[in-house]
């Protein structure tokens, strides 16, 4: 089993929040809207969320209206657990389990979202 390394002094939930925040900053406005729509349509069986964005750019673009999205994303991340091998929401077009991870692909650009099982 592989364990993630935490930054010294950072609790796992704080690390997760920071990862989510950094990943969301990298999404285009169109993708942010896709994510907002997904959060509005999320179901209780949807697992907690950690995001990995593969093509990170150095560009920093802070956006104040992201606050509500980020809080919703983090709350979802901390409160929901995974329990199914196939997940369907308005945003995800396919999902499957791989080792201890549920991996979901979403439209329109099929960036990968990684969901650790709790």
- Backbone region of residue 41 per phi and psi (left: phi > 0; alpha: psi in -120 to 50; beta: other values): alpha
| Per-residue confidence in pLDDT tens, the chain, 118 aa | 444 444 556 665 556 556 666 666 666 777 667 666 666 665 545 554 444 333 333 334 444 444 444 444 444 433 333 343 333 333 344 445 555 554 544 433 333 444 433 3
pLDDT tens string 10-35? 665 556 556 666 666 666 777 667 66
| pLDDT at residue 33, rounded to an integer | 72
Interior/surface letters 84-98, b for 16+ CB within 10 angstroms, e for the rest = eeebebebbeebeee
Q: Which two tokens stand for residue 101?
A: 């991870």
């Amino acid at each position: 089993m592989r364990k993630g390394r935490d930054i010294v002094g950072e609790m796992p939930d704080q690390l997760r929040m920071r990862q989510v925040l950094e990943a969301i900053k990298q999404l285009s406005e169109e993708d942010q809207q896709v994510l907002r729509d997904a959060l509005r349509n999320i179901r209780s069986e949807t697992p907690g969320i950690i995001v990995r964005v593969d093509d990170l750019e150095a560009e920093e673009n802070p956006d104040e209206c992201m606050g509500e999205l980020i809080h919703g994303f983090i709350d979802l991340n901390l409160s929901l657990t995974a329990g199914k091998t196939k997940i369907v929401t308005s945003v995800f077009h396919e999902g499957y389990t791989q080792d201890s991870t549920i991996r979901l692909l979403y439209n329109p650009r099929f960036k990968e979202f990684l969901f650790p099982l709790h």
